[in-house]
Amino acid sequence: MSNYSNIDSKLIHGGIDGDENTGAVNIPIFQTSTYKQDGLGKDRGYEYSRTGNPTREALEALISDLEGGVAGFAFASGMAATTAVLSLFKTGDKIIISSNVYGGTFRVLDQVFNNFGITYEIVETSDLDLLEKSIDQNVKAIFIESPANPILTITDLREVALIGKKHNILTIVDNTFMTPYLQRPISLGVDIVVHSATKYLGGHSDLVAGLAVVNSEELAERLGFIQNATGGVLQPFDSFLLIRGIKTLGVRMDRHIENATFIAEHLKTNSAVKAIYYPGLPDSQGYEINKKQASGPGGMLSFELNEKHNVNKFFESLDFVTLAESLGGVESLICHPSSMTHACIPFEIRQKVGIVENLIRLSVGIENKNDILADLEQAFLKSYEA
Ligand SMILES: *Cc1c(COP(=O)(O)O)cnc(C)c1O
């Protein structure tokens, strides 16, 4: 056990710090599928890399440490992590999801788990009364994001965890947008945290990975069984890359927040922007709640382009701010949720939850903030049509 408690140190030394055998300060990449056994039933702690791999285990120990959980699990993608967590449920169970949940989470429930009789209900979970009223005897879990993708709705995680405990159902938080650097749902009473580590945790848009952390030995046992049984594990090299990315998470997030705050404040007064969503603006929905449960507003913002501007022309006019899926990398990435990240959500539901056609989502990178703003402003000018 180490004698530090601060997250800044945990990011660098948490989990398994380096290699005991050689003194290497970084955990080696154990690029192996299997392990020699010294006799029947005499392995050295590892048998087969789907079941266990030292590089992956170092990552799993690290994310568990960072989130303050009992155990961590690494998967081949965020969706593989979410799928493993949803595999805890059975026919007849119902999951409540927040109305702004990630499109892929909606899709896997709607088109995969539905086939096995696991149903879902979409609820505006930021409305706690509505949430509690939606709980019937079939509801076995509440799956939420805060801030929720893409209009960054804030839900009070402490209150949701209390509602979960009261009704004896699991609470699950997708913490991708905040990361444990800013928000640790388990410390707020939540049972399970999932991540698309493809985003901020990896941080360099160079890998696809998912993580899950649980708050009890019982859940650790069940999810560990599912991880090994279904097999969507993260590979050793990607585990190494992810550990490497996490080391700089703190400095990256600080800069993401600085830049996003700057951009949000400027877009707020720009006539090309009809509405702006950023949890760091004092008049944003859930501002006070986010301040209570997270140590910062993150680097994601969304805005509605004024009708006088052509959305497609705006995207085509950008220089280095890149039109692409994904988020959380060092580079600024911009996207059109209704045709990209959230296209798999039916039109009527999209309209209901605010994913309108002129909504634009920006993952503010760590480039120079004046350069990012200048790129957006010149594209606003070029996309003006009225
Ligand atoms: C990207 C994303 C996912 C899915 O993760 P993958 O790594 O792409 O499978 C899940 N939740 C959120 C909030 C995401 O942004």
**CB 169 less than 6 A from any atom of ligand 1:** no
- Ligand 1 mean position to 199 CA, how many Å? 8
**What pLDDT, on the 0 to 100 scale, is given for residue 331?**
98
Q: Ligand 1, closest atom to CA 149?
A: 13
- The yes-or-no answer on residue 174 being catalytic is yes
Domain check: are 74 and 182 in the same one?
Answer: yes
Cα distance between residue 267 and residue 146, in whole Å: 22
- For residues 160 and 261, state if they share a domain: no
In ligand 1, the atom with minimum distance to the C-alpha of 326 is 1
Centre of ligand 1 from the C-alpha of residue 360, in Å: 18
53 shares its domain with 157 = yes
For residues 179 and 164, membership in a common domain is answered with: yes
Q: Note the pLDDT of residue 251.
A: 98
Exactly one of 174, 191, 238, 375 is catalytic; which is it? 174
Which is catalytic among the residues 56, 140, 199, 350? 199
361 catalytic per annotation: no
Residue 291 sits in a domain whose CATH number is 3.90.1150.10
pLDDT for 110-125, tens place per residue? Answer: 999 999 999 999 999 8
Q: Give dist(CA 89, CA 117) in Å, integer.
A: 10
- Record the tokens describing residue 383, joined without a space: 């996309």
**Residues in a beta bridge with 171:** 142
pLDDT < 50 stretches in the chain: none
Which residue's CA is the nearest one to ligand 1's atom 6? 78
Contacts of 40 (CB under 8 A, 6+ apart): none
Q: Which amino acid is at 168?
A: N
Residue 80 lies in a domain: yes
Which residues span the domain enclosing 229?
A: 7-247
Residues 265 and 167 in one domain: no
pLDDT attached to residue 150:
86
| pTM, two decimal places | 0.96
In the prediction, which pLDDT does 2 show? Answer: 63
Catalytic residue among 35, 50, 158, 384: 50
Q: Is residue 230 part of a domain?
A: yes
- 269 and 158 share one domain: no
Q: How many whole angstroms separate alpha carbon 196 and alpha carbon 188?
A: 20
- Cα 60 to middle of ligand 1, angstroms: 18
Domain boundary among 220, 247, 274: 247
Residues 128 and 23 in one domain: yes
For ligand 1, whether the C-beta of 56 sits within 6 Å is no
179 with 232, same domain: the answer is: yes
State pLDDT tens for residues 260-294.
Answer: 999 999 999 999 999 999 999 999 999 999 999 99
Collapsing DSSP to helix, strand or coil, 178 comes out as coil
Distance (angstroms) between ligand 1 centre and the Cα of 326 equals: 8
On whether residue 1 sits in a domain, the answer given is no
CA of 102 to the centre of ligand 1 (A): 7
Structure-token pair, residue 223: 């999810």
Q: Is the shortest distance between the CB of 78 and ligand 1 below 6 Å? A: yes
287 within a domain of the structure (yes/no): yes
- Evaluate whether residue 266 is within a structural domain: yes
Predicted local distance difference test score (pLDDT) of residue 246: 98
Residue 174 in contact with ligand 1 by CB distance below 6 A: yes
Any bridge partners for residue 384, and if so which?
Answer: 309
Q: Pick the residue whose CA is nearest to atom 1 on ligand 1.
A: 196
| Six-digit token string for 358 | 């002129």
Query: 106 in a domain, yes or no?
Result: yes
State whether 161 and 120 are in the same domain: yes
Let me know whether 153 and 274 are in one domain. no
Distance of alpha carbon 149 from alpha carbon 125, whole angstroms? 13
Residue at 11 is within a domain: yes
pLDDT for res 193? 98
3-state secondary structure of 196: strand
DSSP string, 97-120: EETT--HHHHHHHHHTGGGGT-EE
**CA 158/CA 202 separation, integer angstroms:** 27
What is the CB neighbour count within 10 angstroms for residue 100? Answer: 28
pLDDT attached to residue 346: 84
Boundary of a domain, candidates 196, 219, 247: 247
Q: What is the dihedral of CA 316, 321, 327, 328, to 10 degrees?
A: 180
Respond yes or no: is residue 17 known to be catalytic.
Answer: no
Instruction: Check: CB of residue 201 under 8 Å from CB of residue 195.
Output: yes
CA atoms of 322 and 362, how far apart (whole Å): 10
Q: 61 and 209 share a domain?
A: yes
> Which residue lies with its CA nearest to atom 8 of ligand 1?
78
Regarding the beta carbon of 77 and ligand 1, being less than 6 Å apart is answered yes
For the Cβ of 98 lying below 6 angstroms from any atom of ligand 1, the answer is: no
Q: What is the CATH number of the domain that holds 165?
A: 3.40.640.10
Is ligand 1 within 6 A of the CB of residue 195? no
- Catalytic residue at 127? no
Domain boundary among 211, 229, 247: 247
164 lines ligand 1 (CB under 6 A): no
Domain count, the chain: 2
Instruction: Judge if 243 and 260 occupy the same domain.
Output: no
Given a contact cutoff of 8 angstroms between Cβ atoms, the answer to whether 285 and 353 are in contact is no
Whether residue 2 lies inside any domain: the answer is: no
The type of residue at 261 is T
